[in-house]
Amino acid sequence: MNEWDIIERFFHRPPRSPQVILGVGDDAAVMDVPKNHHWVTSVDTLVEGTHFFPHAPPAELGYKSLAISLSDLAAMGAEPDTVLLALTLPEADEAWLQLFSQGFFSLMEEYQLSLIGGNIARGPLNISTIVHGWVPKNQAIRRSTAVAGDSIYITGSLGDAGLALDLMRRGGDVPVALSQRFYRPTPRVLEGLALRGLASAAIDISDGLAADLHKLLQASRLGAVIQVEKLPLSRVLQQHCREAVTQRYYALTAGEDYELCFTVSPDHRKQVEAALAPFSCGFHCIGEVTRSLGLHIRDAQGNPFPITHTGYEHFS
């Protein structure tokens, strides 16, 4: 199979979006921009050996490659619409492509997205996904707009994906609940839409809570205090990690959770709680934004909770 054969067989679907004027099949896609909206876009790359193990399940890779990009749009309060996909493949393995595309399109269909183009080349396995979405003008949720006194919230639970990754590295059995959190994270798109106009700032958690919250605080030129006993932990993580210190260390530093961390004015807390109540993921207040710079992590007695690193860094 050549590149065009692969595209036609595995990736050519009629576009769903009314904004698509020209999709797959030409040199570039052509899009219409909804009136009174801003265009929001993000890109993520998964590299074999860096982000996933060789022989990782292709359907799971297809799903995750799209999910992590959608998570960026969720953090902005944007509604996803279209996708570009770029693959480098060591070979044109039909079985692999069939499973990968199934995983990819399963998430696309969940959010009614349109694949409008991309590229396929020969090389080491790399997957890049570019997502586009829309947000009403001047309503995007940014990292840089937190306010001192805001409450800090987290959707879902933290640490499961990091624990799954450690178990995979050790070659041990990985409970399905954990492997699903690693390979099939849920992008909090609907939650992000619900937070638009209510959250003062937001970021998705890809590199670890401590690392990503620090980025938000730097952008806002503020600090924060968070309470480790308030970190949301799943039952499966608590069952596998008996020591509370280990549980909290995963929650703070492990990454790959793709939950939303967001800040809320005290005036909007009840509105946010009502807006998020319909969603099953849950949400938890873990701390407060402060005027004094730096991220301060405290235990129940107010003592500092030590961590040796804040999260994943590509070039550390």
Q: What is the pLDDT of residue 23?
A: 85
Express each pLDDT in 161-204 by its tens digit: 999 999 998 887 899 999 999 999 999 999 999 999 999 999 99
Nearest in space to 3 (alpha carbons), one of 92, 114, 96: 92
Nearest in space to 153 (alpha carbons), one of 164, 141, 163, 139: 141
Q: Which class in CATH covers the domain with range 151-298?
A: alpha beta
Whole-model pTM above 0.85? yes
Q: Binning pLDDT at 50, 70 and 90, where does residue 316 land?
A: very low
**Structure tokens that stand for 148 in this block:** 């001192």
Question: Rounded to whole angstroms, how far apart are CA atoms 60 and 174?
Answer: 15
Express each pLDDT in 37-61 by its tens digit: 999 999 999 999 888 888 899 999 9
Which ranges in the chain are annotated with CATH 3.90.650.10?
151-298
CATH of the structural domain 3-136, one choice from 3.40.50.720, 1.20.1600.10, 3.40.1620.10, 3.30.1330.10:
3.30.1330.10
Q: Binning pLDDT at 50, 70 and 90, where does residue 315 land?
A: very low
**Structure tokens that stand for 298 in this block:** 């405290």
- Average pLDDT of 136-158? 98
* Per-chain mean pLDDT for the chain: 93
Q: What is the pLDDT of residue 314?
A: 47
Hey, what's the torsion of the CAs at 293, 298, 304, 309, to 10 degrees?
-70
Which ranges in the chain are annotated with CATH 3.30.1330.10?
3-136
Question: Rounded to whole angstroms, how far apart are CA atoms 93 and 55?
Answer: 13
Question: Rounded to whole angstroms, how far apart are CA atoms 216 and 222?
Answer: 9
